Amino acid sequence: MNGPLRKVSILVALMMAALLLNLTFFTAVRQEPLNENPLNRRVRDAEFARDRGAILVGNEAIAISEPSGNATVPYVRNYPEGEVWAPVTGWFTRIHGVSGLEREYSSELAGTASRQTFNRIVDVFTGRESSGANLSTTLHPGAQRAAMNALGDSRGAVVAMNYETGEILALASTPSYDPNRLSTLNTNDEIEAWDELLNAEDEPLKNRATREVYPPGSTFKIITAAAAVENGIQPDSVIPSPASLRLPNSSHSMGNSTNCGGEETTLERALATSCNTAFGQLGLDLGADVMLDMAERFGFNQEPQIDIQAAASRYPTEADEAQTALSAIGQYEVAASPLQMAQVTAAIANDGRMMRPYLVDHVTTPDLQVISSTRPEELSRPVSEATARQLQQMMETTVSEGTGRAARIDGLTLGGKTGTAQSDPSRPNYAWFVGYAKDPKVAIAVFVEDAGVARDDISGGRLAAPIFRAVMQAVR
């Protein structure tokens, strides 16, 4: 063989080897991720052809597959009370992908997960049509409906959880949308509905409960209080609470929006009155490193551990003294999801033990064979039991005597914290309330982005605390 032919032969052989290696890599390594990619239209069309499993709340189906009458795509996804459950189920579309539990458990619902291989083989031999698994959720129907109703026309979110187990009882985000409009088999109708929802001014496709983060405002003071107690400051310790706190190396000062009771107060009263300057000074005294450590102990700057898409909450890793003072009251670059603040509150209520939050209790085949189940799992212990008990004492005083009085419910021992957070001078402040009950063992975070009220009427006690009360009453 002459030289040129030999070179061509070697090049062709190398290209064939590269092709075989690439095919082997995609088959052995990339097959499952590509199959699960929500943009893979071929796989999703195949899933539409399957009898997809149901998503259940107790015995109630909140997402089911029904015969479509279309020979090519024989099933269509249906969502009873779609707007109530959309923050949980998400959408399931042929063109625009999937979200929510439909996305996180897509292969199980479609019956294509590796754990369902044996069931598919049995279906082949028995001649039975394959169908997907069912998801049984931890959700409390009364709590979810109460959350959605109480939020009403506001932009906002509610997360309620059993703080002893991590079970999510309510996950609400408003405004909501009807996922039935997106699951249609009519391509033009789906595109029209998607464009309308995507471009809507109130952004209904946003999941404000888990996938968005906002300044937590004064609700973050419970983390600052935790850092203070862990460093030897007691609830009855006297701390400075000046009318104005000059921020170091800055021309700006921090003021108070409430009556702190004088130039000095106790830590407990500072939390009950939501005294900005007291907590700003605590941030300065504790220092940036201590504050960062406590925020990260509670889960900030970490990937959320929950079985639905969620955004990481943020605490500044580099902050000067002025920025540390602002961060101590939940401002500057601090940003948290309602899920994150529910977890913070739950850990305090659970004597310092933070449990992994979860929405799906177990996954079962149509013949009730359990494919997987979730057990309560402790994630961390951000504070000691003694510290948690002292924080509970202070949060209960905040509800009984302080800014959280609007959350009170006769017969229940409640702890909580209000929050009003500044975001942008051109838009309204955010309103927060986080709290828990001793019995039932429930922690709740309420966030109101925009309630359409006058700026002076925006506060956690006025807007968010009544929503907390409505949800807690639904689960008591």
Which of the residues are catalytic? Answer: 218
Contacts of residue 343, Cβ cutoff 8 Å, sequence gap at least 6: 161, 298, 299, 354, 357
Closest C-alpha among 291, 242, 234 to residue 266? 234
3-state SS of the chain: helix, strand, coil percent to 5? 40, 20, 40
Task: Report the SS3 class of residue 323.
Answer: helix
431 sits in which H/E element: strand 430-437
Measure the CA–CA gap between 11 and 237, rounded to whole angstroms: 79
Of 283, 265, 177, 266, which Cα lies nearest the Cα of 220? 283
The owner of tokens 């913070």 is: 344
Residue 251 to residue 228: CA distance in whole angstroms:
27
- Residues shown for the chain: 476
- CA angle, 44 then 97 then 447, to 5°: 145
Asked if 403 and 258 count as a contact pair (C-beta separation under 8 A), the reply is: yes
The sign of the CA dihedral 251, 218, 464, 271 is: negative
Instruction: List b or e across 91-127, with b for residues whose CB sees 16 or more CB atoms inside 10 angstroms.
Output: bbbbebbbbbbbbbbbbbbbbbbeebeebeeeeeeee
- CA atoms of 234 and 80, how far apart (whole Å): 51
Sign of the Cα torsion 199, 83, 148, 141 reads negative
Residue 434 main-chain phi, psi, to 5 deg: -125, 140
Pairing of β 134-137 and β 55-57: parallel
Question: Which stretch of DSSP H or E encloses residue 159?
Answer: strand 155-162
Q: Token pair 């209904």 is at which residue? A: 204
Query: What CA–CA distance (Å, rounded) separates 383 from 225?
Result: 11
